[in-house]
Structure 1
Amino acid sequence: MKNRKNIIIILITLLIGGFIGWLVKPSGDTAESSEHDHAAMEEDQIWTCSMHPQIRQQEPGDCPICGMDLIPLSEDNATGDPEVYRMSENALKLANVRTMIVGSGDAQKEVRLNGKVVVDERNAYTQATHIPGRIEQLRVNFTGESVSRGQTLATIYSPELVTAQEELLQAQEIKEGQPELFEAAKQKLRNWKIGENQIQQILNNNQAIQRFPITADVSGIVTEKIADQGDYLEQGMPVYEISNLEEVWVVFDLYESELGWIEEGSTVEYTIRSLPGETFTGEISFIDPLLNSNTRVAMARVEVENENGRLKPGMFASGVVENQVGQESSEEIVVPKSAVLWTGERSLVYIKSELEDGAGFKLREVTLGPSLGDSYVIENGLQVGDEIVVNGTFTVDAAVQLAGKPSMMNPDINQEVLNETFTLPEDARSKAAAVVENYLQLKDALVNDDFDSAKESASSLGRKLANIDPNTFSEEARATMEQFKTQLQNRHKAVAAAGDISAMRSNFDEYSEVMINFASTFQPLDQKLFVQHCPMADNDNGANWLSLSGEIRNPYYGEAMLTCGEVLKEIN
């Protein structure tokens, strides 16, 4: 009986377990389908590097060139517009691309100035002695003391003045017979600023005054004590500097680049470092007409009432002048500087458009207006509502370049013909071919990190350029060759003058751009040429070069990043 119960319990347990297993187990077809889909996804998914798109791997990992994390590569870049480059949402996040909607508003240029409080030069006075002699006593002994007009500042002993007084007393005795001599003796004292009361005192006492006072000609603050007790001074030598500080100047340094934004009459808001929490407003009353040739600075002056004496010469000041850009009440388009790619000839931005499974980016040329510090006014090329890239602009441009679409360095790369081509006579063709061959030797020397060979190739290239005579070209090709020769020689100077391989590489990019167009226009070689690109050269702006081989050998980094780059196109 007991065994029968055990058997029944075991059977029931097996049935329940089988039922549960049937519930949770997926069908064979589903498992097979899932496995197939997963395998297909793993097989189809390609991983690449945002900085080195030539890297292709079947699985995620690190870039073998720069070590960055690989990102999924979207093979489908069809957007309907051949100039639009598509990026997936995942790629946008990994590249940290940010955009903004262009709007309009009042554009203001804010100029920040630094300066200090100084004495109003019109109220500064040099107190001099009118009498030659030795200073017997100084009544004002320190800088900063307040003095009033007529106050005795010092006493002076003057042998010349004592002699002149004695001459006056002698002339008084014979003034009845020689009144002219008596008047001349008095005038001599007047020339030393001796007043009529003092002259009368001398005559009444019939005795020369030994020590005369030096009195203040103006009221103010002693800003400098020049003479000391016991000094012997000639007539007109300074004793004190006295300034009236009821009016002072706040003088700001105005750099050369800021002169166009500030003019006399501009309003400036400023603060004084010693008076925190207070803001002052003034008007620039004067700007130096001359620029300091050493510091490249002019002075802008604000006149300030200072009756309470709170502003003291030497205090530091910081000011702001705001300028309206454009016409009053006009609305300008302003974009961050990070959105603009500047090539020296063109200013470019990337416009974003929404696609079904990502975003499209297209290059657009714009015309820049004034610089507003961290932003630009856009005069032409953008409209309100356009969405532009403001962060990750260079990353987008590098990807666009390698996709063979219009980019910063190659705005016309999608055109069927980059330049008009010419068929050259054999002699002219051989000289053009020698220039390209010498350029390739220079490129190979940079690839091999061989500066000495690079210098030698650069020198030889200069000679080959000089041998080209545009007059031997056909009439149609002559003007084009003259332009190319001038451009190549101008860029050759910087390459040939380089003192090390880094300086030579930094000038090789512009040289290469002209050489690529030169080779495309005249096609002097029988071999195929490859236009190759490194996105990390030129501080991540990217740079191109020519090569006889499709294999990447990077002249901008040499052994450090030998295989960094991508083939952009071929010149047949």
Structure 2
Amino acid sequence: MNRIKNFARQRYLFIILIALAFIAGYLIKPTAQDQNQQFDIHDDQTAWTCSMHPQIRQPQPGRCPICGMDLIPANQQSEELGEHQLRLSETAMHLAEVQTDIVVRKSVSKNITLYGKIEVNETLLKSMTARVPGRIERLYVDYTGAMIKKDEPLLDIYSPDLYVAQQEYLNSLRDPESALLKQEIIRKKFHLWGIADVQLDEIEQRGSAADRMTLYAPNDGIVMQRHAVLGAYVDTGAPLYDIVDLTTVWISLNVYEKDIASLNHGQKIRFSLAAYPGAVYEGVINFIHPVLDATTRTIKVRAVADNAGNKLKPGLLVSAYAVVGSPRTSLVIPVSAPLLTGKRAIVYVAVPDERGVFAGREIVLGDRMGDYYIVTSGLEEGERVVSNGAFKIDSEMQIQAKKSMLSPVSAVQKTAVSKDFSNSLVDIFLAYFDIQHALAYDQSERLPESATRLLQKLKKVNINSSASQPSQWQSLAASIEKATAGLVASTDIDNARVEFQKLSDALILTLTTFGVPDISPIIHYHCPMAFNNKGADWLSQKEQVENPYFGAAMFRCGSQVKTFAGTPGDEI
């Protein structure tokens, strides 16, 4: 009986617990609005991306596997803005470190960096030669590099012609009728032979001819080369010493053709030497060579500099710069403001009276002048441009499925090409890929061979079969040749990467115009951080990024822009 009662009590208790559970569930059930809020919060926090590499998408916070930057939440909400406009919250602007600067008009200047070496001032170089035949009996200066003073004895020479002339001079002194005329003639002869009046006075006082005579230094300087040899017989005109005055020296510099228009005669330069750290010297340009060196694509420029203390020794390497200013006030923006891709320059402009709204705009840039770019068109004085964080804004545009301003605008006339022409381009691109691989793996020793091979293949392209408008190819071929020659002449990997960017731009335009179907697909990559965040492009057949502008330092930095495949100009 007690067992039945206990069972009934447990059953009633179980029913009560179930009822309480249903009541509690009803009381704490979220509303539809709460469910939507939770869903929205979840959506906002499930996608995390990198502001520099928007193709990275992670389900949780962390670091970008490419550049190591902290991931930020991806904003999936779209707003009613223009196609190239974006609104950022205060938090987003803080995370992106967005900074703006006012477009101003001012005078700006830049430093043109020059490299070269010290050379002898050829106008102060003199060669001392034998003016009479004879045998060298004694050398007072017997080594190269000796510092000498004017009228310092250099050598003694025995010459029958000198001995006979001395006798004639003494005889003229004893003949009062013809003394004056003969003496004048003989003295002129001695002067032409380099014999000074003091030596003639000694002959006159001695009253007898000497079997040897001393030759003296014609000027102060340093013996650059000694030709005279003790005991040697020399003929008239034989070189004895090369003497140079080093009170001034020449600074011979190589100037790239893009900089030559900024240099003028009489312009000052400043230079330094590794031999004297911290010391800065000045020179003045006195000669600009009229002919370009076709191999190095440089022009020789010469400056003259004072050499007090003889510290500027011929042969020493110099690092120089010339300060060049804009001829008038110009509209300028900071160099960090524009995003550069190929031939296009993009800026993001703060929309007036709308906090956090930025509009992308394509502009035309002039020269870079130090920390500024001259703006030719596209901006007005007083507008605000994003000077820091522009690439992050463009990345956010892509995240929000808007069109990136970095996306190239197709304005190139596609040109029909023959099969022979397309095939002749294959070897050019294969050599280019070898150059790209060498730079990506920091193998500068491979560059000259690959670049030389590219130049050789370029000469074999059949111009007549290039297109209905062969002038298009001729223009591109000139750009390719110029950049590749610069690669061959590059003395270090940094200079090589500058020339590689020019080569890449020319070949990207070649692909856009003509295409290379036989080795497609070819992938167009962009690195926004190259060349102090100016950005640079390159081509590759590999689906993984191998950055040629940073090498091992940032091997995987970069993103795909497009893929060329199929017929000319086609892209994926």
TM-score normalised over the length of structure 2: 0.57
1:530 matched to which residue of 2?
A: none
Cα distance in 2 between the residues matched to 1:566 and 1:207 = 97
Q: CA separation of 1:410/1:268 partners in 2, compared to 1, >3 Å: closer, same or farther?
A: closer
Q: Which amino acid aligns with 2:81?
A: G
CA contact (8 A) 2:112 2:323 kept: yes
Counterparts in 2 of 1:140-219, with a 5 A limit? 140-159=141-160, 161-162=162-163, 191-194=192-195, 208-219=209-220
**What is the distance in 1 between the residues matched to 2:281 and 2:273?**
8
The 2-side partners of 1:222 and 1:110 are apart by 37
Deviations 1:488-523 (A, max 9, x none): 99999x9xxxxxxxxxx999965786699xxxxxxx
Give CA-to-partner distance per residue, 1:117-173, whole Å, 9 cap, x none.
554433332222222222221112344544343332111123554566678899999
Following the alignment from structure 1 to structure 2, what is the Cα–Cα distance between the partners of residues 298 and 316?
A: 15
Q: How does 1:508-519 map to 2 (within 5 A)?
A: none
Q: How many residues align?
A: 444
Gaps of 5+ in 2: 1-23, 427-464, 480-503, 516-520, 529-538, 546-558, 564-570
Structure 2 counterparts to residues 276-295 of structure 1, below 5 A = 279-281=280-282, 284-291=284-291, 293=293, 294-295=295-296
Question: Could you tell me which amino acid in structure 2 is paired with residue 266 of structure 1?
Answer: Q
Give the partner amino acid of 1:229.
L
Q: Deviations over 1:238-264 (max 9, x none)?
A: 32233344x313525140332222212
Q: Secondary structure at the match of 2:526?
A: helix
Counterpart CA distance in 2 for 1:360 and 1:323 is 37
Q: TM-score, normalised by structure 1?
A: 0.57
1:376 aligns with one of 364, 373, 377: 373
**Which residue is equivalent to 1:304?**
306
Q: Could you say if the C-alpha distance between residues 198 and 58 of structure 1 is closer, same or farther in structure 2, counting changes exceeding 3 Å?
A: closer
Which of 353, 357, 362 is the aligned partner of 2:359? 362
Tell whether the 8 Å contact from 1:250 to 1:317 is kept in structure 2 after alignment: no
Q: Which amino acid aligns with 1:106?
A: S
Aligned to 2:345: 347
In the alignment, which residue of structure 2 is the partner of 1:538?
A: 525
| CA positional deviation for 1:99 | 3.4
* Deviations 1:343-393 (CA, angstroms, capped at 9, x unpaired): 42x43222244999x944422121212122554111322234534344554
Aligned residue for 1:334?
A: 333
Q: CA 1:325/1:47 → structure 2, altered by over 3 Å: closer, same or farther?
A: same
2:248 maps to what in 1?
Answer: 248
The CA distance in 2 between the partners of 1:334 and 1:202, in whole Å, is 80
Question: Which residue does the alignment assign to 2:134?
Answer: 133
Q: How many angstroms does 1:64 deviate by?
A: 11
* Residue deviations 1:20-79 (CA, integer Å, cap 9, x gap): xxxxxx999678469847742455435164578688787668999999986533232214
Q: Unpaired runs of 5+ in structure 1?
A: 1-25, 413-417, 420-431, 443-465, 469-481, 495-504, 517-532, 542-554
The letter of the residue matching 2:347 is V
Partner of 1:265: helix, strand, or coil? coil
Report the counterpart of residue 407 of structure 2 in structure 1. 409
Q: Using the TM superposition, name which of 185-194 and 236-245 deviates more.
A: 185-194
- Matched AA of 1:233: V
Deviation at 1:310, TM superposition (A): 5.3
Distance 2:65 2:188 in 1: 100
CA contact (8 A) 1:335 1:377 kept: no
Q: 1:393 to 1:556 in 2, by over 3 A?
A: farther
Contact residue 87 and residue 356 of structure 2 kept, 8 A = yes
Percent of aligned pairs with the same amino acid:
25
**Preserved contact between residue 151 and residue 219 of structure 2 (Cα < 8 Å):** yes
What SS does the aligned partner of 2:259 have?
A: helix
Q: 3-state SS of the aligned residue for 2:47?
A: strand
What pairs up with 1:469-484 in 2 under 5 angstroms? none
Does structure 1 retain, via aligned residues, the 8 Å contact 2:337–2:347?
Answer: no
Query: What SS does the corresponding residue of 2:81 show, helix, strand or coil?
Result: coil
Partner amino acid, structure 1, of 2:405: S
Aligned residue for 1:122, secondary structure, equals helix
Q: Is the 8 A contact 1:48 1:57 kept in 2?
A: yes
C-alpha separation in 2, matches of 1:265 and 1:200 = 48
Distance verdict in 2 for CA 1:187–1:507, change over 3 Å: closer
* Matches of 1:64 and 1:318, distance apart in 2: 40
Give the whole-Å Cα distance in 1 for the aligned partners of 2:200 and 2:234: 22
Distance 1:292 1:27, change over 3 A: same
CA distance in 2 between partners of 1:143 and 1:194 (Å): 24
Please tell me whether the aligned partners of residues 349 and 364 of structure 1 are also in contact (alpha carbons under 8 angstroms).
Answer: yes
Q: Separation in 1 of the partners of 2:123 and 2:28?
A: 97
CA distance in 2, matches of 1:395, 1:233: 79
Shift of 1:317: 4.9
Aligned equivalents of 2:114 and 2:173: distance in 1?
A: 66
Compared CA separation, residues 118 and 349, structure 1 to 2 (3 A): same
Distance 2:260 2:474 in 1: 37
Within a 5 Å distance, the mapping from 1:3-14 to structure 2 comes to none
Instruction: Summarize deviations over 1:381-424 as a string: whole Å, max 9, x none.
Output: 22345343445545544554572436233559xxxxx99xxxxx
Bigger mean CA offset, 66-75 vs 285-294? 66-75
- Give matches, 1:404-483, under 5 Å: 404-405=402-403, 407-410=405-408
CA contact (8 A) 1:343 1:408 kept: no
Q: Please name the residue that 1:500 is paired with.
A: none
1:393-404 superposed matches below 5 A? 393-394=390-391, 396-397=393-394, 400=397, 403-404=401-402
Q: RMSD between aligned alpha carbons?
A: 6.0
